[in-house]
Structure 1
Amino acid sequence: MDTEVPFLLTDSVDGASEAPLAGVSDYRGRAVYRSTSGGWRSALFVAVLELAGNFAAFGVSANLITYLTGPLGHSTAAAAAAVNAWSGTATLMPLLGAFVADSWLGRYRSIILACTLYVLGYGMITLVSMEMLSGNDLSSHPSSMKVGLFYASLYLIALAQGADKPCGLAFAADQFDPSHPKERASQSSIFNWWYFSMAIGIALAISIMSYVQENIGWGIGFGSLCVVMLCAFAIFLGGTPTYRLYVPNSRSETPFMRLGRGISALYRRSNFLLDTKRHHPEDEDVIDKVQSEEAWAVLRLFPIWATCLAYGVVFAQISTLFNQQGRTLDRNIFSGLELPPAAIQTFGPISILLFVPIYDRVLVPALRRATGNTLGLTLLQRVGAGMALSLAAVSVAALVEAHRLEIAREHGLVDDARATVPMSWVWLVPQYVILGIADVLAVVGMQEFFYDQMPGELRSLGLALYFSVMGIGGFISGVLISVIDRITSRDGGDSWFADNLNRAHLDYFYWLLAGLSLVELVLFLYLARSYAYINHKRLL
């Protein structure tokens, strides 16, 4: 079979056949044809929107802890917990969004809803931040009403991500026909290039917006994000005539109702198999068998999902504690130009941009020849490799932080919270680079795994499971930080997350995360060895 895939922009649509495509329609419910719909031409419209969405989201999240500890006056521990709670909510909301999309709205209309909420959310956060900083006394704390409005705008953005994230990638993948050899290969490749486009948005957001926010103004920084989303929304709508929309399910029950029936059927069949004397009608047995197999296909994903949570906990540190580490270091580049702490995060997406082409065009063909697997590695092997790298990254972060504390002690800076430790920001680059490479393996692997292994009508839920790994990981991180902060600051002691990082012990926390990552990696490898894929001809 021809497994070569186009290098990002090559059109994979075979225009020879003009028969209407089965099971899909355009936005008006009319038949669509391969030569005039779908493929890369349609997927790229969606990719532009998602690139802008990631640009805007990271334009807020990458430097949010700086805003919370600055204009809002939060402590380091409180700010880190707040960022983790918000990012956790933003990545858990796709579970609700997937339910609504797969049951009622459909992916296209869900994306339209998400874009509307994005514009409202970024517009609100712009107005609120400008109002907060409009006074002359920036040292005073803003009123509780303004803080409340700021958080309301943040969580409106989180709600928008809930409608967008489970549908964007699934909708782009829907533009390829899995029964067509070339389009099937492109559908597999899109997961790699999708994350590539995400990395572009993230890199631009971190490098540009962190500078704008800290040196020009928070209101201008947030306002530009609103403008970006308005433009991307218009571009997405421009691609509407080319989109392939799956024909809605004609059954009265929603996919989630069908899943519930499947779980009930699975329970009935288990009881029936145990009770051999019980009579079971043949036609009922066939229905129960089909529905129970669908339910089992979903339920068996959850142990794999649970063992990925430690990855989400490590991921949560990128925009919080890693960022605070960078603020204490020497960030001079040249001629007095100082790098914003959040800008150091750019090395993560840069490593993604460099590694995706290497993986897709060099490693996959080499691994394909070595393993006989058309994907190079199985999806779970890919995820496992990324989890191992995240363990390495947080271990490196612990070693670097221990070295930073040692230098602070050597130069007598332990009691000076605002001192710049004579240690270059370059020391932080390896942990960002390793996590960037880990993302190409684990994050893309999870996206494709949960999309591909979910029954077709529940694939938005499959992608929501991936996002919930990051969401629950963020919540776990927030809970750990809050609990450890209370325990270690008891009786007047220095917290691991003290506002003066020279008296804190982020290195201890990183070693704790490394231990959790090691335990979950072992459990993941145990489960992955016995996992049986659906669509196994393509995946094994």
Structure 2
Amino acid sequence: MEKNMEEPLSSQGEMTHQHTAPKHSKGGLITMPFIIANEAFEKVASYGLIPNMILYLMRDYSVGVAKGTNILFLWTAGTNFMPILGALLSDSYLGRFLTIGLGSISSLLGMILLWLTAMVPKVRPPPCDITTQSCKTPTTGQMTLLLSSFALMSIGAGGVRPCSIAFGADQLDNKSNPKNERVLESFFGWYYASAAISVLISLTAIVYIQDHLGWKVGFGVPAILMFLSALLFFFASPFYVKQKPSKSLFTGFIQVPVVAYKNRKLAFPPRDSDGWYHHKRDSKFIAPTTKLRFLNKACIIRNPEQVIASDGSASNPWSLCTIEQVEELKALLKVIPLWSTGIMISINISQSTFQLLQASSMDRHISSSFQIPAGSFGMFTIISLATWVILYDRAILPLASKIKGKPVQLGAKLRMGIGLFLSCMAMVVSAIVESIRRRKAIREGYLNNAHAVLDMSAMWLVPQHCLNGLAEAFNAIGQTEFYYSEFPKSMSSIAAALFGLGMAVANLLASAILNAVDKLTSRGGKESWVSDNINKGHYDNYYWLLAIMSSVNLLYFLVCSWAYGPCVERVIKVSDEGNGFKEEELSNIGAIVKDEV
């Protein structure tokens, strides 16, 4: 487990193992509370703003459900995409300390701006109920201020989230310590535990504060937490090990197609020849694989005297690449079809806006004096996810292995497929529950009253949240393990980046789907499926549409899985026997624990 978890340390770029061991005068356990607190407070603050945000947009900015949901989709897409850019800047230019610091400041400024929109009445349109009245829309200036706060928070997330865990590993990584791996494993355990607890707090405490104390306090508390996050991080600055930025793996991906295009007119050397392809010193590769053969021209040596430096490296990396670079890009391109199958599950999980409106219209009491906040039902997704991961790892697999008399484990692709199936079932259940809820609202005479609370328990929504959590547990973890199994070790940082990119693309596609549904179903003056009035709309039809798309996506996954073949990457390696060529399977790297939040 230690080795598996050690791989994703650097959210991005090469691991700290490639740098000199940190000096004992800096780093160490003394820095851990500050780094973990920085990440934990940032998560509590940022995730606590999302669940109820659609209510703020509808009630205080007179924004309709469709437009408000689109704004949230775009905000979430930006938040998921920015960590990739942040990792690139951290690895190549700024370093992790500066990237986290600037990200913390940006998040703080964004939250202060959002808090000001609640504190100053003039930056919002006049109060109005859009479900029953024709309301004045916000001015350009008012919307610019609100969207600027979202943008600053997305930029901040891009600085903090990809670098925090790697920066923590920088402080502890000491190869001279015989217990180094155990120390790192302990850090990862505390890091992931704090992340999970932070999300649960944001989905419960912060949402509860917003519901009962209003937006001024509900937005003020996250701003205060973010201030503490930044303060604690900078307070420990003298104690940190601050690694210098190095070359980013992303740069190598760009170089390969550029050099291959430059060398497009070169002829391929004979298959059994040696010395034609450029590789690193002590490399196990002497020739690239034959798949995507046109990329192999990027590592063909044209004139050794001109393109090879005295130390054996390429004198100009934009004119000659290594075999390793070429194979890394091929590995990435090969998984793209299977990666794309995970986008649909992210689209389904991102439908929290509609689930919030459903919960708001149902009886959420669990006792006579306490009711679950509508925005807190997402915690059932996290709880079911965490419960399954623990049961699968600690109970189900050991029991199955004991019964079979040999190690038992579900393959990564099989788990991905199970996750897609469960996600499809979650949408089916969502559609059925919403259909029952809507019919009951109409029977009780609430067709024109979107704020009415039905005599129907909101616990009906729990199964779809649990199915979403199980789908995430199977697909997301299986997907990440699949990347780590198939990619070279040098590409471990790309696994997390791919998953974040998938969520960003999913948010953009979810916005496009919602726009199309709203436009097509409201033609001819008809009530849109995603109407501002939940009882007049047909959210159940919208869920059925997602269920149909999910079933088609499941078939697409089966085709991609079949086309991909076995989860084993074959490469040509140096052999001491024969002509030097040998096909050998690279063993899978085991399962990793991923930050699902």
Q: Would the aligned equivalents of 1:496 and 1:504 in 2 still touch at CA under 8 Å?
A: yes
- Return closer, same or farther for 1:229/1:266 CA change in 2, 3 Å cut-off: same
- Return closer, same or farther for 1:190/1:442 CA change in 2, 3 Å cut-off: farther
2:574 aligns to what? Answer: none
Larger Cα Rg: Structure 1 or Structure 2? 2
Say yes or no: does 1:316 pair with 2:313.
no
Structure-1 separation of matches of 2:425 and 2:212? 34
Query: Which among 37, 46, 61 is matched to residue 72 of structure 1?
Result: 61
Query: Which among 97, 101, 111 is matched to residue 86 of structure 2?
Result: 97
User: What is the root-mean-square deviation of aligned Cα atoms in Å?
Assistant: 3.9
Q: Would the aligned equivalents of 1:347 and 1:433 in 2 still touch at CA under 8 Å?
A: yes
2:530 is matched by which residue type in structure 1? F
- Return closer, same or farther for 1:436/1:177 CA change in 2, 3 Å cut-off: farther
Q: Would the aligned equivalents of 1:24 and 1:32 in 2 still touch at CA under 8 Å?
A: no
Q: Would the aligned equivalents of 1:166 and 1:461 in 2 still touch at CA under 8 Å?
A: no
Query: Which among 169, 194, 219 is matched to residue 197 of structure 1?
Result: 194
1:532 aligns to what? Answer: 568
Identity %: 28
Could you tell me how far 1:456 is from its partner in structure 2?
A: 5.8
Could you tell me how far 1:212 is from its partner in structure 2?
A: 1.5
- Return closer, same or farther for 1:182/1:417 CA change in 2, 3 Å cut-off: same
1:532 is matched by which residue type in structure 2? V
Q: Would the aligned equivalents of 1:196 and 1:352 in 2 still touch at CA under 8 Å?
A: no
- Return closer, same or farther for 1:136/1:50 CA change in 2, 3 Å cut-off: closer
Could you tell me how far 1:409 is from its partner in structure 2?
A: 3.1
Unaligned residue ranges in structure 2 (runs of 5+): 6-15, 129-134, 279-299, 302-320, 571-585, 592-597
Query: Which among 55, 60, 84 is matched to residue 44 of structure 2?
Result: 55
Say yes or no: does 1:437 pair with 2:434.
no
Structure-2 separation of matches of 1:136 and 1:498? 21
Structure-2 separation of matches of 1:402 and 1:229? 41
2:368 aligns to what? Answer: 335
Paired residue secondary structure (2:589): helix
Query: Which among 152, 156, 160 is matched to residue 152 of structure 2?
Result: 156
Deviations 1:348-404 (A, max 9, x none): 223344344333432454466669679x44444443333332222222111111111
2:380 aligns to what? Answer: 347
- Return closer, same or farther for 1:457/1:5 CA change in 2, 3 Å cut-off: closer
Deviations 1:204-247 (A, max 9, x none): 11212222223212121112112212223344456667766666
Could you tell me how far 1:281 is from its partner in structure 2?
A: 5.8
Q: Would the aligned equivalents of 2:82 and 2:155 in 1 still touch at CA under 8 Å?
A: yes
Q: Would the aligned equivalents of 2:342 and 2:475 in 1 still touch at CA under 8 Å?
A: no
Q: Would the aligned equivalents of 1:408 and 1:414 in 2 still touch at CA under 8 Å?
A: yes
Structure-2 separation of matches of 1:424 and 1:123? 37
1:475 is matched by which residue type in structure 2? L
1:510 aligns to what? Answer: 543
Structure-2 separation of matches of 1:363 and 1:178? 35
Scaled by the length of structure 2, the TM-score of the pair is: 0.74
Could you tell me how far 1:55 is from its partner in structure 2?
A: 1.4
- Return closer, same or farther for 1:283/1:85 CA change in 2, 3 Å cut-off: closer
Which moved further from structure 2: 406-415 or 521-530?
521-530
Could you tell me how far 1:339 is from its partner in structure 2?
A: 3.5
Structure-2 separation of matches of 1:388 and 1:179? 47
Structure-1 separation of matches of 2:236 and 2:482? 28
Scaled by the length of structure 1, the TM-score of the pair is: 0.81
Q: Would the aligned equivalents of 1:263 and 1:295 in 2 still touch at CA under 8 Å?
A: no
Structure-1 separation of matches of 2:27 and 2:397? 29
1:383 is matched by which residue type in structure 2? M
2:441 is matched by which residue type in structure 1? A
Deviations 1:9-53 (A, max 9, x none): xxxxxxxxxxxx963357xxx5459xx966x88767544433322
1:121 aligns to what? Answer: 110
Structure-2 separation of matches of 1:473 and 1:159? 19
2:229 aligns to what? Answer: 232
1:124 is matched by which residue type in structure 2? L
More helix by share: 1
- Return closer, same or farther for 1:431/1:171 CA change in 2, 3 Å cut-off: farther
2:332 aligns to what? Answer: 298
Could you tell me how far 1:464 is from its partner in structure 2?
A: 2.4
Q: Would the aligned equivalents of 2:2 and 2:181 in 1 still touch at CA under 8 Å?
A: no
Structure-1 separation of matches of 2:380 and 2:538? 24
- Return closer, same or farther for 1:425/1:378 CA change in 2, 3 Å cut-off: same
1:518 is matched by which residue type in structure 2? S
1:483 aligns to what? Answer: 516
Query: Which among 416, 426, 430 is matched to residue 397 of structure 1?
Result: 430
- Return closer, same or farther for 1:530/1:42 CA change in 2, 3 Å cut-off: farther
- Return closer, same or farther for 1:208/1:196 CA change in 2, 3 Å cut-off: same
2:254 aligns to what? Answer: 260
Structure-2 separation of matches of 1:367 and 1:522? 29
1:262 is matched by which residue type in structure 2? V
Structure-2 separation of matches of 1:460 and 1:277? 32
1:146 aligns to what? Answer: 142
Unaligned residue ranges in structure 1 (runs of 5+): 9-20
2:96 aligns to what? Answer: 107
1:228 is matched by which residue type in structure 2? L
Task: For 1:421-460, list aligned pairs within 5 A.
Answer: 421-447=454-480, 449-450=482-483, 459-460=492-493
Q: Would the aligned equivalents of 2:90 and 2:245 in 1 still touch at CA under 8 Å?
A: no
Could you tell me how far 1:518 is from its partner in structure 2?
A: 2.4
Q: Would the aligned equivalents of 1:107 and 1:167 in 2 still touch at CA under 8 Å?
A: yes
Paired residue secondary structure (1:329): coil
2:18 is matched by which residue type in structure 1? G
Structure-1 separation of matches of 2:163 and 2:538? 40
2:310 aligns to what? Answer: none
Paired residue secondary structure (2:142): helix
Q: Would the aligned equivalents of 1:413 and 1:502 in 2 still touch at CA under 8 Å?
A: yes
Which moved further from structure 2: 445-454 or 149-158?
445-454
Q: Would the aligned equivalents of 1:200 and 1:353 in 2 still touch at CA under 8 Å?
A: no
Q: Would the aligned equivalents of 2:77 and 2:503 in 1 still touch at CA under 8 Å?
A: yes
Paired residue secondary structure (2:76): helix
Structure-2 separation of matches of 1:23 and 1:68? 47
Structure-1 separation of matches of 2:405 and 2:545? 35
Task: For 1:186-225, list aligned pairs within 5 A.
Answer: 196-225=193-222
Structure-2 separation of matches of 1:43 and 1:449? 30
Structure-2 separation of matches of 1:173 and 1:276? 45
Query: Which among 467, 479, 501 is matched to residue 534 of structure 2?
Result: 501
Which moved further from structure 2: 417-426 or 44-53?
44-53
- Return closer, same or farther for 1:190/1:507 CA change in 2, 3 Å cut-off: farther
2:293 aligns to what? Answer: none
Q: Would the aligned equivalents of 2:416 and 2:475 in 1 still touch at CA under 8 Å?
A: yes
1:17 aligns to what? Answer: none
Structure-1 separation of matches of 2:365 and 2:81? 38
Structure-1 separation of matches of 2:125 and 2:532? 26
Kindly tell me the number of residue pairs found equivalent between the two proteins.
Answer: 514
- Return closer, same or farther for 1:277/1:233 CA change in 2, 3 Å cut-off: closer
Q: Would the aligned equivalents of 2:61 and 2:125 in 1 still touch at CA under 8 Å?
A: no
- Return closer, same or farther for 1:530/1:239 CA change in 2, 3 Å cut-off: farther
